[in-house]
Chains A and B, each alone.
Chain A
Amino acid sequence: MVELVLIAKDLHKVYDDGTYAVKGVSFSVAEGEIYGLIGPNGAGKSTTLRMIAGLIKPTRGEVYVDGLNVFEKPVVVRKKLGYLPEEAEVYGRLTGYEHLEFYAKLYGVEDIEETVKYGVELSGLGDRIYDRTSNYSKGMRRRLLLAIVLMRKPRLALLDEPTSGLDVYGSVRVREVIKKYVRETRSAVVLSSHNMLEVEYLCDRVGFIYNGRIVVEDKPSRIIERYNVSNLEEAFVKAIEGFEKK
């Protein structure tokens, strides 16, 4: 029996300024599964991920990680969770190694040395891990951030645009890290992106999110088949057109 790591139920979010960002998003993710949340800018991807991470309280709806309510057991849930925000950055005056050590301690991991060692390996930064991050390129910083999130082997990893702003080599490397990580740990991953090729390559299932709603959800191959197109990008356009006509 497949164990569900994440259950998001009927999530709604209305911000203080009246913006209705998310209008009833529901989905679940099983262990060892990579779920892609796809949509254009402003579709509600980041808000949904922030609600799952417990950073933003939903106006309505519930989120469960490993059966625990995110807002009722925040400390326990956060230890099971890894979240990489889309525009996350690092502290310029700390080294990459100090970052890994700091977050390992902050999450109260038992074997700090082993965790940091795994983080160094995930980052692929080699000896540059001991440099201050102000000397890192954008790609190096993103890899470090990914290592910070994944080194603890969280049950659920939320990766918001993990390859955002990276060049081709950087993107390929990050995708390899994510794939390898899920294979090794059997963790669940929710990945938000508007890069369809990336999603097609990485995800077991995808949900097209548009205007705060999930309009289509299935395996990438089935969606392509359903819309009778050659790739996910074309399927997305057709799905959105169909949704707007309704």
Chain B
Amino acid sequence: MIGRDISVLLDKELKDLWRDRKTLITTIILPLVMLPLLGIVSLALIAQQPVNVAIVDLDSTRSTDPLLNLTVDSRWLVDNLTYHLHKYGYNVLLANSTQVVSDPDVDVVVVIPEGFSRNATSLKTTAKITVYRKAGYQSAARAESTIHSIVSVFSRNLSNYKLKALSKLAGINATLSALRNPVQAYTELVTVHGVPVSIEVELRNAFARILVLALSFVVTPAASYVIDGIIGERERKTIELLLVSPAPLSHIIYAKMIAATILGIIAAIFDALGLVTYIVLASISYGANIGLIIDYKLLIIHAITAFFTILATITIALPFITRTRGIRSASNVAGIVTTVGIVFFFTGFMIDYVKLSPEILYPLYIIPYVHSILAIQTYMLGYIYRSLLHLLFLAIVSIGLLVFTTKTINSEKLLIAPP
């Protein structure tokens, strides 16, 4: 009997949902198209930002150190900078004076001072270059970073040459790395159990963090669906006929919650697919092997987590939703609950919850979203059982909350909007 009337109600809910093409399109097509599109547009726009770099060569001389047999011409650096900056898509102009710094159209100015060549060839001095960057532009900061890289390579080549020449003069046999970097640190990537792993694991972890963040996008459509299913039915005058049926109120609510969660799951799947598409596109452009990054077991864990996260969210919002006057106030109430979830998912994107001390973490266990985050984070660290335990806890809490909150609602409260 219990299963029968819920399945009849659910069948009606799903039929109604399936025919609500606008809701389905916004739930399925939007993440699938928008997430990759957002990535493509961002990449395209980054490439479209014109950054003007001016190079001022106040030296324009060539200097030679006879001892080292080393010659440096400031124009070599100018040529290097011009070639590479052009290659990365920056506009380069050569200027004669530092006055160009005050030109608002110029974002970055590289000033090669007088005496550059002499200082660069010397064994006693350092040749200094000044880079003026206009504050507030991300694109200018990227150009500045490119300039520092080019200068660094130029400097390293000079240094290598000097070291070789000095070794030759001293008649010693030394390797360049021993002179330049006598102490070096290496990082070996390992799992929590110390098993060596490749860099792809880091990429997978980054993907998992994005999935935690993606939970933010799935709670909102589900909450909207519940609001529409309860308050919307009251406003559309369809709920009274349903409430007078022999189906208990709890079963009517369960069917609506399951339908909303199914919608949330659809949203979660297509959000994840949208993210995967975005990563595939990005990896194709960088020539990476996407198969190494996507973990299909993780996607399943994510889908289950999303299911119970949505259920917990709409269940927490339910008693408040049913006591509101209309869709607008119900949306505001649901907005508060979903915002709490979104805040936690953002922290889950940035914070390793598993690393929190027990004094902080254990009190947080009362918040269902913490288990959503931990289910994904512990799985990524290889703690499969802990991940399943958090999922189980999330399932028990969300189902328990559903049973409890449904008991706080009665047909009178649903029928008659509060004054």
A residues with CB within 8 A of B:
15-17, 50, 53-57, 74-75, 78-79, 81, 83-85, 87-91, 93-94, 98, 102-103, 105-108, 145, 148
Assembled-state Cα–Cα distance A214/B12 (Å): 40
Please state if A106 and B8 are interface contacts (CB–CB under 8 Å): yes
User: B5 within 8 Å of A by Cβ?
Assistant: yes
Of the candidates B4, B16, B244, the one having the most CB atoms from chain A within 10 angstroms of its own CB is B244
- Which residue in B1, B15, B19, B236 is a CB contact (below 8 Å) of A89? B236
Please state if B240 and A85 are interface contacts (CB–CB under 8 Å): yes
Interface bracket on B: 20 to 34
Assembled-state Cα–Cα distance A53/B246 (Å): 11
Q: How far is the CB of A75 from chain B (nearest CB, A)?
A: 5
Please state if B16 and A102 are interface contacts (CB–CB under 8 Å): no
- Which residue in B5, B20, B244 is a CB contact (below 8 Å) of A55? B244
Please state if A55 and B19 are interface contacts (CB–CB under 8 Å): no
Please state if B245 and A78 are interface contacts (CB–CB under 8 Å): yes
Q: How far is the CB of B240 from chain A (nearest CB, A)?
A: 4
Please state if A55 and B412 are interface contacts (CB–CB under 8 Å): yes
Assembled-state Cα–Cα distance A85/B248 (Å): 18
Please state if A108 and B4 are interface contacts (CB–CB under 8 Å): yes
Please state if B15 and A94 are interface contacts (CB–CB under 8 Å): yes
**A93-B20, A106-B5, A106-B8 given; A85·B241 CB < 8 A:** yes
6 A-B residue pairs with Cβ-Cβ distance under 8 Å, sorted by A, are: A17-B419, A55-B240, A56-B411, A57-B412, A79-B246, A93-B16
**A57-B412, A98-B15 given; A107·B237 CB < 8 A:** no
Complex interface: chain B residues within 8 A of A102 (CB)? 8, 11-12
User: B42 within 8 Å of A by Cβ?
Assistant: no
Complex interface: chain A residues within 8 A of B410 (CB)? 57
Assembled-state Cα–Cα distance A105/B15 (Å): 15
Please state if A108 and B246 are interface contacts (CB–CB under 8 Å): yes
Assembled-state Cα–Cα distance A55/B5 (Å): 19
Per-residue 0/1 for B395-419: is the Cβ within 8 Å of any A Cβ (1 yes, 0 no)?
A: 0000000000000001110011011
User: B333 within 8 Å of A by Cβ?
Assistant: no
Please state if B416 and A106 are interface contacts (CB–CB under 8 Å): no
Complex interface: chain A residues within 8 A of B16 (CB)? 91, 93-94
Q: How far is the CB of A106 from chain B (nearest CB, A)?
A: 5
Please state if B237 and A88 are interface contacts (CB–CB under 8 Å): yes
Complex interface: chain B residues within 8 A of A57 (CB)? 410, 412
Q: Which 3 A-B pairs have the closest CB atoms?
A: A89-B237, A93-B19, A85-B240
Q: How far is the CB of B180 from chain A (nearest CB, A)?
A: 73
Q: How far is the CB of B323 from chain A (nearest CB, A)?
A: 11
